[in-house]
C-alpha cells in the first residue's frame, strides 16, 4: 500500500471482490475509518460489514449515511420555484427509530401527500441502488465557503466547524451531491437495502424548518411486510431524541442536551 494514497477499499480489493462489496467501514488501529479515506501510516486494519456484531460504529455510520443520502434526495426533489436549503442532520441515534434531515423550505405549513411521500421514497431507492462510492473530502474553510455560497445556513455553520478543527472542514460526496459531515460513513450507497421516507414534520418554533424522517435496512437484511411496517410506523413519530448529542456513539444511553450537527 502507498502512504496517503491507498485506502481500506484498496486493501479489500487485494482480498476478494466479495469482501470489497460487503465492507462498509474499517477499523484502523481500532478507530473507525472511511473505506475511501487514504491511510497515513503503518497500521492494523479490520474490515467491518453491516452484520459485524462487535462494533456499533458501523451501525452509526450506516444511519449517518442514510441521512446524508436523504439530504441529496431532498435537494433535488422540489421544483425550482421552491427555495430549499439543507440545514443539518444531528448525531445519529439508532434507538430513536428514524434517520433524519432538517431542511429549510420556503413553504408555509407544508403537509406532503401520500403520493409525494412515495415519490420521495422512490427517489431514495433509485439513488441508493446506483452503486455510488461515498467519498470523504478534507478542505479548508475558504474553499468550503465558496462551495456553499448558495446555502446561507451552511455558510453560517462552516466558520464554527473550521474553528474547532484547525481550519479544516470535512465534506462527503455522492455523485454530484456534497455535504458537510464529520463522518465516518459507509463506503457505498449499494449497502443500503429496503428503505422508506416515512414522515415530514414541521419543526416546532422554527420558521419553515422541516424534519424529514426515514428508516432503512442494510442490504441483505430481510423482514416481512408486517415487521417492516412496525418500523415504518415508528419512524413516522416526530424524532425529538436527535436534538440531543450522544456523549459516546458506542453508548446510545448517554445523552446531554446540546445542539449538535453531524
Q: What confidence tens digit (pLDDT) does each residue in 194-204 have?
A: 999 999 999 98
Q: Residue 262 has what pLDDT?
A: 63
CA distance 103 to 143: 23
**Which of 243, 239, 248 has the alpha carbon at shortest distance from 260?**
243
* 184 cis-preceded (ω within 30 degrees of 0): yes
Q: Residue 174 has what pLDDT?
A: 97
Residue 36 CB: number of other CB atoms within 10 A? 20
Domain ranges of the chain: 1-49, 55-244
Band of residue 93 on the pLDDT scale cut at 50, 70, 90: confident
* Contact status, residue 241 vs residue 139, Cβ threshold 8 Å: no
Q: How far apart are the first and last CA of the chain?
A: 31
Q: Is the pLDDT of residue 253 over 60?
A: no
For the whole model, what pTM was predicted? 0.90
| Averaged pLDDT, 51-63 | 86
CA distance 51 to 248: 21
The CATH number of 55-244 is: 3.30.980.10
Residue with C-alpha cell 478534507?
138
DSSP the chain: --TTT--HHHHHHTT-HHHHHHEEEEEETTEEE-TTSPP-SS--EEEEETT--S-THHHHHHHHHHHHHHHHHHHHHS-TTS-EEEEE-----GGGS-EEEEEEES-SS----HHHHHHHHHHHHHHHTT--B-EEEEEEHHHHHHHTTT-HHHHHHHHHHHHTTTTEEEEEEETTEEEE------SBGGGEEEEEEEEEEEPTTSTTEEEEEEEEEETT----HHHHHHHHHHHHS---GGGSEEEETTEEEEEE------
Q: Is the pLDDT of residue 227 over 90?
A: yes
CATH class of 1-49: alpha beta
Average pLDDT over the chain, rounded to whole? 90
Band of residue 94 on the pLDDT scale cut at 50, 70, 90: confident
Q: Residue 243 has what pLDDT?
A: 55
Q: Is the pLDDT of residue 177 over 80?
A: yes
Amino acid at each position: 500500500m502507498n502512504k496517503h494514497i491507498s485506502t481500506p477499499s484498496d486493501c479489500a480489493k487485494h482480498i476478494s471482490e466479495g469482501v470489497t462489496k460487503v465492507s462498509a467501514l474499517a477499523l484502523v488501529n481500532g478507530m473507525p475509518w472511511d473505506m475511501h479515506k487514504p491511510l497515513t501510516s503503518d497500521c492494523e486494519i479490520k474490515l467491518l460489514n453491516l452484520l459485524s456484531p462487535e462494533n456499533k460504529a458501523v451501525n452509526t455510520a450506516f444511519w449517518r449515511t442514510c441521512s446524508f443520502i436523504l439530504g441529496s434526495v431532498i435537494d433535488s426533489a422540489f421544483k425550482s420555484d421552491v427555495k430549499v436549503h439543507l440545514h443539518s442532520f444531528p448525531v445519529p441515534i439508532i434507538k430513536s427509530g428514524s434517520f433524519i434531515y432538517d431542511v429549510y423550505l420556503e413553504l408555509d405549513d407544508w403537509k406532503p401527500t401520500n403520493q409525494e411521500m412515495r415519490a420521495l421514497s422512490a427517489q431514495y431507492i433509485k439513488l441508493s441502488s446506483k452503486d455510488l462510492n461515498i467519498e470523504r473530502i478534507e478542505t479548508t474553510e475558504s474553499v468550503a465557503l465558496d462551495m456553499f455560497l448558495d446555502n446561507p445556513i451552511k455558510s453560517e455553520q462552516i466558520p464554527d466547524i473550521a474553528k474547532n478543527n484547525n481550519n479544516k472542514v470535512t465534506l462527503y460526496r455522492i455523485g454530484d451531491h456534497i455535504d458537510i459531515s464529520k463522518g465516518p460513513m459507509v463506503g457505498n450507497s449499494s449497502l443500503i437495502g429496503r428503505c422508506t421516507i416515512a414522515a415530514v414534520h414541521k419543526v416546532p418554533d422554527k420558521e419553515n424548518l422541516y424534519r424529514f424522517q426515514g428508516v432503512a435496512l442494510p442490504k441483505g437484511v430481510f423482514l416481512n411486510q408486517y415487521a417492516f411496517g412496525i418500523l415504518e410506523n415508528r419512524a413516522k413519530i416526530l424524532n425529538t431524541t436527535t436534538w440531543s448529542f450522544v456523549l459516546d456513539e458506542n453508548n446510545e444511553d448517554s445523552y446531554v442536551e446540546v445542539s449538535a450537527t453531524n
